Amino acid sequence: MITAPAAGLAASLNFGSLAAHVAVTGPINVNINNLAIDSAGNNLPCANSSGNISIFGIAYTARSSGTVKNVAVRNQFGGTPPNTCGTGLSIGIIEGSNVAIQSSMMEQFDFGGVYVLGANASVLNNMIMGPGVGSGFTNLISFYDGSSGYATGNRLIDLNSAPLNNSPIGSCGIALQKNAKPIEVSNNTIGSTQCGIALYGSNGNSIVGNQIFGSSVSDGIYLCGSNNMVTGNTIASSAIAGVEIDPTCQVPANYNTVQNNVINHTCAGILSDPSTIGNTLDANSIFNATYNQLVGFTCP
């Protein structure tokens, strides 16, 4: 067990101000296995003179690499719940690093579980629980701005208690945004979040074989991007749509394939913006939806 020292964690000056229990920096390979990392008692304010302080359980930066396996990471937040800072991350992979995260557990954070920014990560067979404390949530797993990799076989639950401050569709189990290469999101189970899987300006990805239920604010799968493949997913109990195709993130949402999905108990089985073109929407099994397929901006 690695806990915060009595004096609290110190914040360095890369990535804004970064405070990490375990920081891997530079072009080196470090494997982290079989550890528990607990950031409770970090004694950090929300910001200092350099800006907001980001609290990481584990941080890989500056083109480092390695594996994280059989690790438990928890309590990444500054401040005192419920008034936390909204900057706590269990595991961050940034600045061109390349890391495999496997068979680990993350819980009690107020910004995200796995956060990949301009880096490569394989995220395999982890369990991640949102905490229901504080504010500032983004998503349980995020691949942002020039990232690559895959997310497979993860079990993700609980972002319903988060405030609606990430986007109009809410905080999601898995989110892709402007990734550098296509990412495969497959065979994950995502439950009780505000949205299941969201793509923002993200093209050519494969969303396959996921089970998504209880998307309380918006959609099981939200597509703002083109040429994505959405097949073989099981989606239940979404507030708006099982799958929504929407170009409002300022990029086209065309030529996506949505096939062979099972969608149950939602307002719209598939909701597509009227400006989109070339999307293939067939061979889906839709049950107990107010509208099986709906062209429009929202579901009444």
Sole residue written with tokens 């956060």: 115
Could you check whether the bond before residue 5 is cis, i.e. omega within 30 degrees of 0? no
User: Which pLDDT tens digit goes with each residue over 90-105?
Assistant: 999 999 999 999 999 9
User: Which pLDDT tens digit goes with each residue over 215-228?
Assistant: 999 999 999 999 99
Kindly give the pairing relationship between strand 65-69 and strand 36-38: unpaired
pLDDT band at 137 (very low <50, low <70, confident <90, very high): low
For residue 146, pLDDT over 60 is answered with yes
Give, as one character, the DSSP assignment of residue 115: E
- The predicted structure's pLDDT at residue 68: 98
Task: Say how far apart CA 43 and CA 41 lie, in whole Å.
Answer: 5
Computed over every residue of the chain, the mean pLDDT equals: 92
Residue 80 vs residue 157, higher pLDDT:
157
Do residues 22 and 58 lie in contact, with contact meaning Cβ atoms separated by under 8 Å? yes
- The predicted structure's pLDDT at residue 111: 87
- The predicted structure's pLDDT at residue 163: 61
Give the rounded percent of residues in the chain with a pLDDT score beyond 90: 74
pLDDT band at 15 (very low <50, low <70, confident <90, very high): low
For residue 195, pLDDT over 70 is answered with yes
pLDDT band at 118 (very low <50, low <70, confident <90, very high): very high
User: Which pLDDT tens digit goes with each residue over 235-290?
Assistant: 999 999 999 999 998 899 999 999 999 999 999 999 999 999 999 999 999 999 99
Q: Which residues, 6+ apart, have CB-to-CB distance to 63 below 8 Å?
A: 26, 27, 95, 96, 97, 98
Q: How many CA atoms lie within 13 A of 247 on its CB side?
A: 16
- The predicted structure's pLDDT at residue 170: 86
Task: Say how far apart CA 109 and CA 56 lie, in whole Å.
Answer: 9
Give the rounded percent of residues in the chain with a pLDDT score beyond 70: 93
Mean pLDDT for 62-87 is 89
